[in-house]
């Protein structure tokens, strides 16, 4: 870069010293071209990054994301709770078996010590069944609570799924935006080099001052910096995308996705209805239902508990070790029991207070989730519509800026405008391209946010 600046400064002075005043003014065709620059000096480009389609990136991220793994685990554990709640209506069954050996000496009725002569091995076994016939409705309310927890777990799984998709899409679109920015910066550099070449030719022809060449040199420097920045952003976006998909190699967005933006027709009324029944709202509704069932379960201990049990047991003895004795003596028992705590040190009251507070909190969370869904819909849909219009406007602005720059270059070549006019047109083109890239990125992100809000692809 220093060489380029020195070249721009020294060229007009050297030419002026060498040319006599009577020498004809040289034309632009005899101008020495500016020094070429090496694009490899403008920051490293990761050529090892493997292109990946968005659908594949989403699939990999959904598989390995800690949030997705946790959400799937929550579904599995809550479903196990439902199965256990159903099983609580079935009697508990247990079996037992034991054996023991007895030996040594004993005292006879006269108090004399004599060897033990009875059977040395004792056997027992038993079967026991227990069931709560009535528990004040605790099992029923627990079943309702666990079912609501399953619904909430599924809603949370959907919520996490689209939340992960939003993160992946944001990074994927950031890669696309960085690629677009790099392409725009390369075009900017080519245009700046052309401006520099034209400015040097006019300085050589003594049709412009050296400030024209210096301004052109600065534009070349800015274009080179834009390339460096774009490549830095691209490498960072690739690294972030690789972390989300958790591949052992660096991935990048498919370059074919950088062309254009597909605008989909979106029905605002239908989307609003979907947002009001989105996964966040469903999760809050399920949590509210679970807290309501929990509040009822907390009041169940005010009713008595009726239980029934039945067991049968047998015992026998033999002189030899055997897994099954020849003869057992059996006993069986059936029992009904009723229990009611008169005073439990205010444990029931404490449980009710905690459950009521949880229910009020769940009600407030549900109400806020519904209003948040409405607010987010207005925000995301507005952003989608606004950025769609912005993309269309910026595309027109880029086309207009490119045409204006072309005209200004021709005018400058024929002396009808100044280098400042050319640089102003080039700056307007740079701004228009940057605005278009940002508008495309914002549109894609707004669409992904709407998809996360409603819990489905648009």
List the one residue out of 201, 197, 199 whose CA is nearest residue 25.
201
Distance between CA atoms of 133 and 128, rounded to whole angstroms?
A: 16
DSSP state of 39: G
Q: Identify whether the C-beta of residue 185 lies closer than 8 Å to the C-beta of residue 223.
A: yes
Q: Identify whether the C-beta of residue 121 lies closer than 8 Å to the C-beta of residue 99.
A: yes
- Answer whether 0.75 is exceeded by the pTM: no
Q: Which residues neighbour 210 within 8 Å (Cβ) at sequence distance 6 or greater?
A: 8, 9, 12, 203
CB atoms under 10 Å from CB of 120, counted, come to: 16
Distance between CA atoms of 135 and 339, rounded to whole angstroms?
A: 10
Distance between CA atoms of 423 and 45, rounded to whole angstroms?
A: 29
CB atoms under 10 Å from CB of 294, counted, come to: 22
The pLDDT, as a whole number, for residue 27 is 36
Q: Is beta strand 251-253 parallel, antiparallel or unpaired with respect to 50-52?
A: parallel
Q: Where are the domains of the chain?
A: 2-18+26-89+138-302+347-454, 91-102+114-134+305-339
> Bridge partners of 123?
99, 316
Is the domain covering 2-18+26-89+138-302+347-454 a CATH 3.40.50.300 domain?
no
Query: Which fold would CATH assign to domain 91-102+114-134+305-339?
Result: Outer membrane efflux proteins (OEP) (2.20.200)
C-alpha 214: how far from chain center: 48
Q: Which residues neighbour 344 within 8 Å (Cβ) at sequence distance 6 or greater?
A: 301
The pLDDT, as a whole number, for residue 114 is 67
The pLDDT, as a whole number, for residue 168 is 92
pLDDT of the chain, 458 residues: tens digit per residue: 444 444 444 444 343 333 433 333 333 333 444 444 444 445 566 677 888 888 889 999 999 899 999 999 999 999 999 999 999 999 999 998 888 877 666 666 776 776 666 666 788 888 999 999 998 889 999 999 999 999 999 988 988 988 899 999 999 999 988 888 888 888 888 888 887 887 787 777 776 667 777 877 888 888 888 888 888 989 999 999 999 999 899 999 887 765 445 656 667 788 888 888 888 898 899 999 999 999 999 998 899 999 999 999 888 877 777 666 667 788 889 999 999 888 888 888 999 999 999 999 999 999 999 999 999 999 988 888 888 889 999 999 999 988 988 888 888 777 777 777 888 888 888 889 899 988 888 898 888 888 888 888 77
Q: Identify whether the C-beta of residue 200 lies closer than 8 Å to the C-beta of residue 220.
A: no
- Angle, helices 419-454 vs 210-245, to 10°: value is 10
For 169-199, give one letter per residue: b (16+ CB within 10 A) or e. Answer: bbbbbbbbbbbbbbbbbbbbbebbbbbbbbb
Q: Which residue has the tokens 């034309």?
A: 27
The pLDDT, as a whole number, for residue 258 is 53
């Amino acid at each position: 870069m220093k060489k380029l600046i020195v070249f721009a400064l020294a060229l007009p002075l050297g030419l002026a010293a060498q040319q006599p005043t009577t020498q004809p003014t040289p034309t632009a065709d005899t101008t020495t071209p500016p020094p070429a620059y090496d694009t490899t000096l403008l920051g490293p480009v990761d050529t090892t990054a493997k292109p990946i389609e968005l659908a594949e990136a989403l699939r990999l991220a959904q598989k390995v994301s800690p949030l997705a793994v946790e959400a799937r685990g929550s579904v599995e554990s809550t479903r196990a709770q439902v199965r256990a709640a159903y099983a609580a209506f079935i009697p508990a069954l247990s079996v037992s078996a034991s054996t023991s050996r007895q030996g040594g000496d004993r005292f006879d009725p006269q108090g004399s010590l004599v060897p033990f002569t009875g059977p040395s091995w004792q056997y027992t076994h038993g079967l026991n069944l227990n069931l709560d016939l009535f528990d004040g409705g605790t099992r029923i309310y627990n079943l309702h609570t666990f079912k609501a927890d399953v619904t909430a777990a599924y809603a949370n799984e959907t919520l996490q799924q689209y939340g992960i998709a939003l993160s992946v899409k944001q990074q994927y679109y950031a890669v696309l935006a960085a690629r677009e920015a790099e392409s725009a910066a390369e075009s900017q550099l080519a245009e700046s080099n052309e401006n520099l070449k034209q400015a040097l030719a006019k300085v050589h022809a003594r049709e412009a001052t050296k400030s024209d060449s210096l301004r052109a040199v600065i534009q070349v420097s800015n274009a080179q910096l834009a390339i460096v920045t774009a490549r830095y952003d691209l490498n960072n976006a690739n690294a972030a995308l690789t972390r989300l998909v958790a591949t052992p190699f660096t991935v990048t967005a498919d370059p074919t996705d950088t062309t254009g933006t597909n605008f989909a027709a979106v029905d605002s009324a239908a989307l609003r209805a979907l947002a009001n029944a989105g996964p966040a709202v469903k999760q809050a509704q399920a949590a509210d239902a679970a807290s309501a069932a929990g509040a009822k379960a907390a009041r169940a201990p005010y009713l008595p508990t009726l239980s029934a049990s039945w067991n049968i047991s047998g015992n026998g003895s033999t002189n030899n070790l055997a897994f099954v004795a020849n003869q057992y003596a059996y006993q069986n028992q059936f029992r009904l029991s009723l229990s009611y705590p008169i005073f439990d040190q205010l444990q029931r009251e404490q449980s009710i207070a905690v459950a009521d507070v949880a229910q009020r909190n769940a009600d407030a969370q549900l109400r806020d989730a519904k209003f948040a869904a409405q607010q987010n819909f207005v925000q995301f849909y507005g952003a989608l519509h606004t950025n769609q219009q912005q993309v269309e406007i910026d595309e027109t602005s880029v086309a207009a800026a490119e045409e204006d720059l072309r005209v200004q270059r021709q005018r400058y070549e024929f002396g009808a405008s100044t280098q400042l006019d050319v640089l102003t047109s080039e700056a307007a083109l740079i701004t228009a391209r940057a605005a278009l890239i940002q508008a495309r990125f914002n549109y894609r992100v707004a669409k992904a946010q709407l998809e996360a809000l409603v819990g489905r692809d648009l």
